[in-house]
Amino acid sequence: MKADPHHQRRLVDIADLDQRLAGLEHRRSRLPEQATLDGLKAERRAATESVARARIHLEDLDRALAKLRSDLDAVHRRRAADSDLLAAGGLSERQSTELDYELRSLARRQDALEGELGELTERYEAMEADVRHSGAMVTDFDARIGMAVTMRDNALAELEDAITTTIAERAREAETLPAELLDLYARSAADAGRGAAILNGGRCSACGMDLDRRAVSAFRSAAEDEVLTCPECGVIVVRTSNS
């Protein structure tokens, strides 16, 4: 196939633009700002789940505290009633003995309940503090996520602008090139990963391979408008004064 040497040289410019586009697309698919945002969202979900678990535990403790207080109130009422009966007198010795025994038992029960109530109250207050702390973390994550979204959107907008500019530049480079040459370039890009490259001395700048003397000699003796491909990687090789 034959093509104007200037057209062939422009294929290298198009290949450079395609490489730039590939780099921009790669960065867009792996945007560091997006990774940061995803990490913050994951941490926020974990903090939210922690708040939910803590609140459930807090509700359980609240019910346990209510039961303890109810039991303690019942003991207080029973002790008061027994004390009143004992103080009123008129009881047999057996009844007095039984009431005295019951009062001692109620006192021990009251001490035990008050001890449990104290421990449970401490746990409740600690859990309340955990809920407040986790809630504050969620609020902090919301603020950081808002900032991360802005940074992600700005980075994405810059990339989109760069991609749009590069696509337009590529279109300008390709618009006057023969369709047959562009088709060959597209096949070369699909097969070799790059559509065109400079032949620098005796080395293909696409695959970096030094060509043998016979290939180099054949390239140098070929007509200027002859479209040549690298025998190693198959990319279109464009000759310059350094070839």
The CATH code of the domain at 31-174 is 1.10.287.1700
Interaxial angle between packed helices 93-174 and 5-29, expressed in degrees from 0 to 180 and rounded to the nearest 10: 170
**pLDDT tens digits in sequence order for the chain, 243 residues long:** 899 999 999 999 999 999 999 999 999 999 999 999 999 999 999 999 989 999 999 999 999 999 999 999 999 999 999 999 888 888 888 989 999 999 999 999 999 999 999 999 999 999 999 899 989 999 999 999 999 999 999 999 999 999 999 999 999 999 999 999 999 999 999 998 899 999 988 888 998 888 888 888 888 888 999 999 999 899 999 988 776
Q: Is the pTM of this model over 0.75?
A: no
- Nearest in space to 192 (alpha carbons), one of 206, 211, 208: 206
In this prediction, residue 221 carries a pLDDT of 87
Per residue in 21-39, pLDDT (tens digit) is 999 999 999 999 999 999 9
Q: Which residue type, as a one-letter code, is found at position 111? A: D
Tokens at 221, concatenated: 């003796």
In this prediction, residue 243 carries a pLDDT of 65
Environment class of residue 234 by beta-carbon count within 10 Å: exposed (0-12), middle (13-18) or buried (19+)?
Answer: middle
In this prediction, residue 128 carries a pLDDT of 93
Residues 6+ apart with CB under 8 A from 46: none
Environment class of residue 226 by beta-carbon count within 10 Å: exposed (0-12), middle (13-18) or buried (19+)?
Answer: middle
DSSP 136-166: HHHHHHHHHHHHHHHHHHHHHHHHHHHHHHH
Q: How far apart are CA 148 and CA 146, in angstroms?
A: 5
Tell me the domain boundaries of the chain. 5-15+178-239, 31-174
Three-class SS of residue 169? helix
In this prediction, residue 37 carries a pLDDT of 97
> CA angle 165-167-169, nearest 5°?
70
